[in-house]
Amino acid sequence: MQLSKPAPSQGAHLLTLAAVCLAALTMPLSFTGPALALTAIGRELGGSAQALTWVTNAFMLTFGGSLMAAGALADQYGRKRVFLLGVGLFSLSSLGLFLVGSLLWLDIWRAVQGLGAALSFASGLAALAQSFAGAARTRAFSLIGTTFGIGLAFGPLLCGLLIQALGWRAIFALAGLVGLLALGLAAYCMRESRDPQATGLDWPGALSFTLALSLLTYGALAAPERGWNSPLVIGLLLGSAAAFWLFVTLERRTARPMLDLSLFRYPRFVGVQCLAAAPAYAFVVLLVLLPLRLVAAEGVSEAEAGRVMLALSAPMLALPLCAAWLTRWFSAAALSAGGLLLCALGLWWLSRYPQLSALQQTLWPLLLIGVGISLPWGLMDGLAVSVVPKERAGMAAGIFSTTRVAGEGIALALVGALLAALLQQRLAAVSTVEPQTLAAAASQGALGKLSAAGELLPGLSPETLSLSYAAAFQRLLTVLSVLTVLSALVVALFLRGAGQAQPEETAAQPALDSACS
């Protein structure tokens, strides 16, 4: 008689959750830390401003371009195996970044780090989908959202202190140590799982999609600096469209495609992808544009700007977990749409203030935005894997994460272009320079380079330029508020009835309830 394999213990499930949370914590550290360190990196390794942007862009390019393939690999070859490979690659590249001696090798290691992050993140979410079910899964995924919140709220502050005390290399050492801890926990407790119906990786689909998304991401990253009419940007976007067309054509002819296009017939699946992109306009763009506004236009210190940003991100520390608790009484669709409406109200409220560094005035709208985004943030990862059979959770996690990362990159490019257009409109009323020069100045101003914009506008005082930038930013916040309202309506329409707490639980339910209480 063959004995059945014993089920994993409660402790094993919770340690798996801890390992995935630690891997998730490295994501915001990898986004915010290097961005803060660019000045220090430039002093030691040299390089132009454009070359230094690849410290950030190289990570985003490989991370966003590899997520879908990473999810498919996890379903095919095993979630634990791919998770260990990804976390190990991330930790190895962090060591390389700590020891690097040139800017070129730093960019190369950042690209490798992005690949490792994609492998670990997509496979980690898929592994959680196998370990938890029902309401337990909702709470488990809400902890992922809370982990992101901790990284977003305190990551910039911690990385700033490390750079000041130990140098910029310390931030990569920190990320590597967190990765090694996740690696050890996963190797000890995570159980292996894979899609039993997988017949092999759809390599043509994986390569064509990765090419398409990489070209799109590269084009979106290059557009704010080079302009949307740049031959390079146009060529990248056209190449991306051609690669996407090739991907869709290949997937329709493949028996076991990397992306099952028939899923887009189901409203809930479409709604999850809309939910993935919604925070980009409601929250993520503020994480990039608000510090530029505070430091460049209002002249506050980086430390003061950090205090303002903390008011925006502090609710993410606990409220994503509360969102999972609220699913006992409300559907995830209602909570997500309601949270986005709160964000929209906060954005409109914030647009009423011409000076955003006056924290005694802007504290409440910033907190309202943070509270609003925390509700969908704590639910959307769980929703992503709940709308497909759990055997294909890796594919679902890859699609969702790809939509989120690509949506953020595109949102930053589009919002940057809109801010430049609004600023150009304001400057046209106070300056008489040629339209071409005015457009160039507006593009520099939208990137936070007000001094460079002022050099192109002789006779225009810095105060007038700063006021014009602030007015354009206020109008931008109003537009973002409207976009967020529309996103909330789309999410409510497509996700009706999705994500309500289910009676199905796992053996880890009592322990998870205790951990979340």
Beta carbons of 126 and 391 less than 8 angstroms apart: no
Q: d(Cα 314, Cα 277) in Å, to the nearest integer?
A: 21
Q: Do residues 282 and 370 share a domain? A: yes
Half-sphere exposure of 56 (CA within 13 A, CB side): 19
Q: Which of 203, 283, 281 is nearest to 247 (CA)?
A: 203
Q: Do residues 325 and 409 share a domain? A: yes
Give domain status of residue 426, yes or no.
yes
The total of structural domains in the chain comes to: 3
Give domain status of residue 1, yes or no.
no
Q: Return the CA Rg of the chain.
A: 23
DSSP 421-461: HHHHHHHHTT--S-HHHHHHHHHHHHTT-HHHHHHTSTT--
Q: Which of 224, 346, 357 is nearest to 297 (CA)?
A: 357
Q: d(Cα 481, Cα 492) in Å, to the nearest integer?
A: 17
Give domain status of residue 508, yes or no.
no
In eight-state DSSP terms, residue 200 is: S
Structural domain for 394, as ranges = 259-503
Measuring CA to CA, how many Å separate 295 from each of 36, 184, 290, 308, 314?
A: 13, 41, 9, 11, 20
Q: Do residues 178 and 251 share a domain? A: no
Q: d(Cα 428, Cα 450) in Å, to the nearest integer?
A: 16
Give domain status of residue 511, yes or no.
no
pTM for the model stands at 0.73
pLDDT tens-digit map of 189-248: 888 877 676 666 667 877 887 788 778 877 776 776 677 778 888 898 899 899 889 988
Q: Which of 514, 512, 517 is nearest to 136 (CA)?
A: 512
CATH of the domain at 432: 1.20.1250.20
3-class secondary structure for 291-357? HHHHHHHCCCCHHHHHHHHHHHHHHHHCHHHHHHHHCCCCCHHHHHHHHHHHHHHHHHHHCCCCCCC
Domain boundary among 140, 170, 192: 192
Q: Do residues 227 and 150 share a domain? A: no
Q: Do residues 421 and 409 share a domain? A: yes
pLDDT of res. 134: 67
Give domain status of residue 157, yes or no.
yes
Give domain status of residue 197, yes or no.
no
Q: Do residues 228 and 165 share a domain? A: no
Give domain status of residue 3, yes or no.
no
Collect the ranges in the chain with pLDDT lower than 70: 1-10, 48-50, 133-135, 138, 152-153, 195, 197-202, 221, 224-225, 256, 258-260, 295-297, 301-303, 306, 357, 359, 385-398, 448, 497-517
Q: Do residues 277 and 252 share a domain? A: no
Give domain status of residue 2, yes or no.
no
Q: Do residues 272 and 183 share a domain? A: no
Q: Do residues 275 and 410 share a domain? A: yes
**H helices present in 378-431, as ranges:** 380-386, 393-428
In eight-state DSSP terms, residue 4 is: P
Q: Do residues 366 and 449 share a domain? A: yes
Q: Do residues 287 and 399 share a domain? A: yes
pLDDT of res. 92: 93
Q: Residue 234: which residues within 8 A CB-CB, separation 6 or more?
A: 228
Q: Do residues 408 and 312 share a domain? A: yes
Domain boundary among 192, 210, 233: 192
Domain boundary among 192, 214, 235: 192
Q: d(Cα 501, Cα 482) in Å, to the nearest integer?
A: 31
- Token readout for 211 is 């090419």
